[in-house]
Structure 1
């Protein structure tokens, strides 16, 4: 039986880059850029006025002139109008093109303006250029702005917009099939009989994996073998990058999936991990097709193993590299766990006044205690081989 680290390494070894697709820029938020974006012109593309005030020739001011006739105004978005007289000035607004013939801007706060003339109230600077954002000061035309592989956040989208990238190539989102199994499950809008329960794992997995960048399709299959075989055959051939199964991977008489998956050409990579919850975890891959996660069906097992293995696999595919291991958190109380298994313990995280990341245990009533996850926002991974984990000890804390 593999330990958690070995299982995790085998899962990550199957990640692969996703092909690109072209989308409209607004739809690219949060996506991974699949092309280089370069400056289509200088940044800024002209000498830009950086303060409201007047623009003038520094030489006249430095020669002792303190009063300037105002020839007119230069607004942002208007074509530039040259200064007619080197002894005059032009009113300018922030963002406007600097009028040709001027090289210095004086703020309104530093002058008085009356009867079409400006009187300067401060001495001239040593050199021209005050309150001017020079052309190409930020980037030059043709310069690389966003290399392929950049995640497109708000600042990156703004840069893409300013170079006219109305459509961009981005990495395609991973396509995941989330498949619940079991005759005991009914739809969420149904009234279950005493021996039935409503589907919940599929919706938890969808809510976990969609924010991580996946396109998730939901399916449900019964335990009847021929129906299970037919449904899986179709799903495995449907072009998904991964199939995430919930249930039917343990040793019960209705747990057909391990044998059936191999019958359908999915090569087993491992089955069972020395962890609780989630020991029966199954993982495999089909040549030329998807990877397959067979998650245990109990809801706590399903959710925590998806957090520990499926989401990192997805993130590695989306980002091109394995996600870093999570930061440590300090237990706020002692935990005793005697089985020789890694323990995925739900916790509530908070930061104390000293900036320490603290984890307060919120143990569930077992792997079937779905409501026990309410209030937990992470789980700490406690290693096998120890049975007492004292308060104040530090362990990796995976946010959920």
Structure 2
């Protein structure tokens, strides 16, 4: 069995993703968070899109004091920000923050900078600080961006801040790359889904969070299944409607070579082509990736929980980045705080580590393939070459962002 170098396996998954047909769709802003923008989008309006007040106060024309010229008392549900009156020299009108600047306005005076006086049946607005500067506390149309300016670039992974900006740019929907679809299967007769496992049993460490991890990485989970170590069940799952409609099939367990590890046997029967059949990395060396004759991708994760998680974080983001037309994300560069001795095998190691600033402290305990205690406390997986590394040396690290 050929063991592909870890960094090459990551690259191969990315390359395979770039070969996938990229399909675009339009979605509402509420459904666009976490999606990849399919094309550059440009502002539909100037920002701001009208001249408005930056403060609560009074719009005034000319020199003061000013006669207050307010419209009739607004109704309860009226949008007071749109109320306006034409101002002549020596007149003022009440204005709210964001309110439309009345025609004739020369400046806005803040509410706390004036007082009102009654004189000859009129209300006067009197400045407490002398004559105001023309144009004060006014927001001018287009001062942030002109209409037609680039708003968000193609390939952006849309977050909440992008959605807020796209809304004020005038968008109701945006073009995004259609999410790759994934079906998940959790295998193993020894796995229990709740309670405390007895001898010879293990607790399911995947089904509660794997769908959320995949979704956060940009995939759409078609469905999940729990399978026994049974070839007929495995065959039926591969032929199920969810799997047939999926771009990617992800299985936990069954990727090794024992008599109950059936995934490799099934892939052989289905004439699958290996992208990689094993990886020169610990934990996670039994991980495999293959392509079925119909183009679907199979990612077989090891059964041990740390191995499965390190494999998922290594290869799935690479594949999804390729599908989205994005480059591979750069790994962190961190400085080790302690020595890591050489490994007995010619494999790289992915070791959970605490990261503070640019320094990483790898965990010493809880880092075997069946252990999760270090992983639960880590911020990244440091990539250690077979020859080890020394304190102060710079190494790469894979961030754990979910």
Aligned to 2:125: 118
Conserved 8 A contact 1:276-1:343: yes
Moved more, 95-104 or 154-163: 154-163
Conserved 8 A contact 2:188-2:229: yes
> Which residue of 43, 50, 57 corresponds with 2:47?
43
> Which residue of 96, 99, 112 corresponds with 1:96?
99
Q: Are 1:271 and 2:269 matched, yes or no?
A: no
The alignment yields a C-alpha RMSD, in angstroms, of 2.9
> Which residue of 101, 106, 111 corresponds with 1:108?
111
**1:11-58 deviation per Cα after TM superposition (whole angstroms, max 9, x unaligned):** 11011465233433222223223355444433323221122333233x
Q: Are 1:32 and 2:30 matched, yes or no?
A: no
Assess, with a 3 A threshold, how the Cα gap between structure 1 residues 151 and 5 changes in structure 2: closer, same or farther: closer
> Which residue of 65, 68, 88 corresponds with 2:66?
68
SS at the partner of 2:165? helix
Offset at residue 321 of structure 1 (A): 0.9
Offset at residue 372 of structure 1 (A): 5.1
> Which residue of 203, 208, 218 corresponds with 2:213?
208
CA distance in 2 between partners of 1:10 and 1:365 (Å): 26
> Which residue of 279, 284, 298 corresponds with 2:304?
298
Assess, with a 3 A threshold, how the Cα gap between structure 1 residues 227 and 306 changes in structure 2: closer, same or farther: same
SS at the partner of 2:81? coil
CA distance in 2 between partners of 1:251 and 1:147 (Å): 46
Q: Are 1:346 and 2:352 matched, yes or no?
A: yes
CA distance in 2 between partners of 1:76 and 1:153 (Å): 32
Q: Are 1:152 and 2:158 matched, yes or no?
A: yes
Offset at residue 326 of structure 1 (A): 2.1
Conserved 8 A contact 2:38-2:176: yes
Offset at residue 237 of structure 1 (A): 4.7
CA distance in 2 between partners of 1:67 and 1:79 (Å): 22
Offset at residue 194 of structure 1 (A): 4.0
Offset at residue 154 of structure 1 (A): 2.8
Unaligned segments of structure 2, at least 5 residues? 73-78
Conserved 8 A contact 2:155-2:326: no
Aligned to 2:390: 390
Conserved 8 A contact 1:329-1:359: no
**1:168-201 deviation per Cα after TM superposition (whole angstroms, max 9, x unaligned):** 4333333222222223234x13776643333324
Offset at residue 10 of structure 1 (A): 0.9
SS at the partner of 1:5? helix
Assess, with a 3 A threshold, how the Cα gap between structure 1 residues 359 and 369 changes in structure 2: closer, same or farther: same
Pairing 1:199-238 to 2, within 5 Å after superposition: 199-216=204-221, 217-234=223-240, 237-238=243-244
Offset at residue 147 of structure 1 (A): 4.3
Offset at residue 315 of structure 1 (A): 4.2
Pairing 1:71-86 to 2, within 5 Å after superposition: 71-72=69-70, 76-83=80-87, 85-86=88-89
Moved more, 330-339 or 297-306: 330-339
Query: TM-score if structure 1 supplies the norm length?
Result: 0.84
Unaligned segments of structure 1, at least 5 residues? none
CA distance in 2 between partners of 1:372 and 1:51 (Å): 52
Conserved 8 A contact 2:11-2:318: no
CA distance in 1 between partners of 2:106 and 2:294 (Å): 64
Residues paired across the two proteins, number: 384
Aligned to 1:137: 143
**1:268-311 deviation per Cα after TM superposition (whole angstroms, max 9, x unaligned):** 12212211112222111234432111222222211111112223
Aligned to 1:337: 342
CA distance in 2 between partners of 1:100 and 1:14 (Å): 60
Superposition misfits of 4+ residues, deviation over 6 angstroms: none
Query: TM-score if structure 2 supplies the norm length?
Result: 0.84
CA distance in 1 between partners of 2:116 and 2:106 (Å): 20
> Which residue of 251, 257, 261 corresponds with 1:251?
257
